[in-house]
Structure 1
Amino acid sequence: MTSDDEFPALVWFSQGDALAHLSRLDATAHVDGQACVLRECRERLQQAGFSSFSYMALETIGRRILRAYAMREMGNVRFTTVYLKSRLYETDPRLAALRESGLPVTWNLDELEVRSNSAEPRVRSLLSTLRAHAMHSGLILGLPAPRADLRVAVTLSAEASDTSWIDDRVMGTVLAASLTIGRTVQPFVEECARMARVVTLSDEQAAVLERLVKGLSDHEIAAETASSAHRVSQHVKMLQKSFNVENRAQLAYLAARWGWSRS
């Protein structure tokens, strides 16, 4: 498993990581058999016509992604990295359609270019990046998430220029394979998300965060902790980095959502 410290944080894992975690949870688990099942899932997806399969579990605040757990197998590392780091997801018409309907959405690049707001720079960047990686058509769907604060998105792409080949048979193959893969990696993703919530703070940082969650300003926090507003501000910036958020509001929201309390 590999991760970076940029925003949003991108954590790459393999199916081997997920299987090793299952083995640690249950020494009697038939890991070799599960590895075979996962390999068969990938083969069925490729036989159905898909060239890439992207599984991502996303920790979000609203529509803002804080951390993404992405599976390497059948994924396109370069595309996924650009997609997240350039925040192309914020204007992705495929995600918008998925949020609107809640159902699997088929897409092809030609239709996206006609129907999308091509005046938006990130939409143009998304379309050109898809084309550069030969992602001409595909399917996007959501899966059940292991935690209420996670969203799981599966995106499949193909070199075919239309979606007429994505019939009921192909859709059934995708759903079966995606659910099987999702069930296998879910315990590992859930553990990663749990560990990401383990934040070690100094007493001074804990005192600042405790009051920030209650809505106090820097000056009010400084008065209560016998510190200076400047020092409090520095602590807040460090806390934002520790919690992997961009601003004060996100920090307060996430700390409260995680049930953070001073031990």
Structure 2
Amino acid sequence: MNTDNYFIWRRETEQHFQAINSTEQLKSLIQTLVVSLGFDSYAFLIQHPVPFTRPRIFLHSTYPKAWITRYEQKNYYAVDPVLVLCQQPGRGVEWSSDLFSAAGDLWKEAQEHGLNSGFSCSAMASNRAIGILSIASRQADKTQHLHTELEVKLHFLAELSLRSLQRFSDDTLMVLKNDFSQRELEILKWTAEGKTSAEISLILAISQHTVNFHQKNMQKRFNVSNKTQIACYAAAIGLI
């Protein structure tokens, strides 16, 4: 990869992202950039950090609709190795038969729908949501000898895409509105330290009733059943 050309590409790409003002423009821009890299289509999957057992997932994609429908029908989310490996932001994953060997018919069916080669890489948003950008080509072996270049460029594109969605306050990236008061954040931090309501009231010089009131309100906002979950979720999304 030519370093000088890369920095020119990076500067121009960032300017393109700064010029857009909506999610629809973002989708169009990603497709244009993917084509400029020599690929046909993309999928940008956003995985939220909570709930822990069944994280919320959103997908922006130009893959064939029939493939997206099939992927969801077969629940390939549960066996797709890309989604596991890309939990480490910045790590590039080149598609191959070996990669999907334990994923049942996923690779065979993807190829049947025209996804004959591809590459994936991810980035992490400030709220700890993971954005996994995958690009695909109808041409086999399209990614050969391009691992380093694609890893660097896709990581950057995923980062810019996440930042843009946050800038647009797009629902697909909003884990929770970050409008907690200073008092609520203080209570969250002490709750995460394992302090009881009575102990927090003494530390903050407020009534125990006030502590309980804020904790109950935060339980509703996080949609959880107890204060332990409040603290865990707050830590998971980078709130504390």
2:42 and 2:54 map into 1 onto residues whose CA distance is 20
User: Which of residues 194, 206, 215 is equivalent to 2:176?
Assistant: 194
Once the two structures are overlaid, the 10-residue window that deviates more, 139-148 or 77-86, is 77-86
Q: Percent identity?
A: 15
Please show how residues 169-188 of structure 1 align to structure 2 within 5 Å: 169-187=149-167, 188=169
Query: What secondary structure, in the 3-state scheme, does the structure 2 residue paired with 1:44 have?
Result: helix
Once the two structures are overlaid, the 10-residue window that deviates more, 38-47 or 131-140, is 38-47
Please show how residues 128-207 of structure 1 align to structure 2 within 5 Å: 128-148=108-128, 150-162=129-141, 163-164=143-144, 166-187=146-167, 188-189=169-170, 192-194=174-176
User: Which of residues 48, 68, 77 is equivalent to 1:59?
Assistant: 48
Structure 2 length normalisation: TM-score?
0.53
Deviation at 1:101, TM superposition (A): 8.9
1:33 and 1:101 map into 2 onto residues whose CA distance is 25
Please show how residues 79-98 of structure 1 align to structure 2 within 5 Å: 79-84=67-72, 86-98=74-86
Structure 1 length normalisation: TM-score?
0.49
Kindly indicate which of the two structures has a greater share of residues assigned to strand. Answer: 1
User: Which of residues 36, 39, 44 is equivalent to 2:33?
Assistant: 44
Deviation at 1:158, TM superposition (A): 1.5
User: Which of residues 93, 96, 104 is equivalent to 1:105?
Assistant: 93
Q: Is the 8 A contact 1:45 1:174 kept in 2?
A: no
Q: Is the 8 A contact 2:47 2:57 kept in 1?
A: yes
1:36 and 1:100 map into 2 onto residues whose CA distance is 28
Q: Quickly say closer, same or farther: Cα 1:254–1:58, change in 2 above 3 A.
A: farther
Query: What secondary structure, in the 3-state scheme, does the structure 2 residue paired with 1:186 have?
Result: helix
Q: Quickly say closer, same or farther: Cα 1:53–1:151, change in 2 above 3 A.
A: same
Deviation at 1:83, TM superposition (A): 3.4
Q: Is the 8 A contact 1:59 1:65 kept in 2?
A: no
1:65 and 1:85 map into 2 onto residues whose CA distance is 17
- Count residues in correspondence: 173
Gaps of 5+ in 1: 1-28, 118-122, 196-241, 244-249
2:105 and 2:133 map into 1 onto residues whose CA distance is 21
Q: Is the 8 A contact 2:40 2:137 kept in 1?
A: yes
Deviation at 1:144, TM superposition (A): 1.6
Q: Quickly say closer, same or farther: Cα 1:142–1:62, change in 2 above 3 A.
A: farther
Query: What secondary structure, in the 3-state scheme, does the structure 1 residue paired with 2:86 have?
Result: helix
Residue 140 of structure 2 aligns with an amino acid whose one-letter code is S
1:170 and 1:33 map into 2 onto residues whose CA distance is 26
Q: Quickly say closer, same or farther: Cα 1:36–1:130, change in 2 above 3 A.
A: closer
